[in-house]
Structure 1
């Protein structure tokens, strides 16, 4: 399922011939067993003495709205795995940062973000998911 409430434009330049393609990307839910119906969020981790690595975890629609409302995505440098709404993307789907301007005002996702009570602590499931990316809430 595509979350069309969020749209990010992405331009891909071919390394072979320099042809530019522009895609309108949206977050999408995974189709694998353990992460079925969840969105993938990705974070670059830099640990002293080790190579920089990307860590990802999967969150539900409501958890994604909570992370966005609490500013966790921006604070810890998370990106969301995206795919094109139409056509196919050549290669691995990119992870993009979501800015407030990328969310359609008045959309179901925007309303879900507004309804989050930021004074409450995150649920145990969300905290556990974020531990995979070395983030503690």
Structure 2
């Protein structure tokens, strides 16, 4: 499923021939058994003495809205795995940061973000998912 409430424009330049392609990307849910219906969020981590690596985890629609509402995506530098609404992307689907301007006002996702009670702590399931990305969420 595509989350078309969020749209990010992305231009890709081919390394082979320099052709520029512009895509409108949306978050999408995974189709694998364990992560079925969840969105992938990704973050770069630099571990002491090691190179930078990417760590990802999968979250539900409501968890994604909660992370966005609480500013966790921005605070910890998370990106969301995206795919084009039309056609296919010629390489691995890219990750993009979700800016407030990328969310369609009044959309179901925008309403879900607005309904999050930021004073309540995150659920145990969400905190556990974030530990995979080396983020310990206290709130």
Instruction: Give CA-to-partner distance per residue, 1:90-135, whole Å, 9 cap, x none.
Output: 0100000000000000000000000000000000000000000000
SS in 1 for 2:22: strand
SS in 2 for 1:134: coil
User: Aligned pair 1:23/2:10, yes or no?
Assistant: no
Q: Please report how far the alpha carbon of residue 47 of structure 1 lies from its aligned counterpart in structure 2 after TM superposition.
A: 1.1
What is the root-mean-square deviation of aligned Cα atoms in Å?
0.3
Tell me, in whole angstroms, the C-alpha distance in 1 between the residues paired with 2:124 and 2:54.
23
Aligned to 1:109: 109
User: Aligned pair 1:35/2:16, yes or no?
Assistant: no
Runs of 4+ in structure 1 off by over 4 angstroms are none
Tell me, in whole angstroms, the C-alpha distance in 2 between the residues paired with 1:16 and 1:59.
35
Aligned to 2:134: 134
Aligned to 1:74: 74
Structure 1 length normalisation: TM-score?
0.99
User: Aligned pair 1:119/2:103, yes or no?
Assistant: no
Q: Which blocks of at least 5 consecutive residues in structure 2 are unaligned?
A: none
Instruction: Give the count of matched residue pairs.
Output: 137
User: Aligned pair 1:7/2:7, yes or no?
Assistant: yes
Aligned to 2:59: 59
Aligned to 1:96: 96
Structure 2 length normalisation: TM-score?
0.98
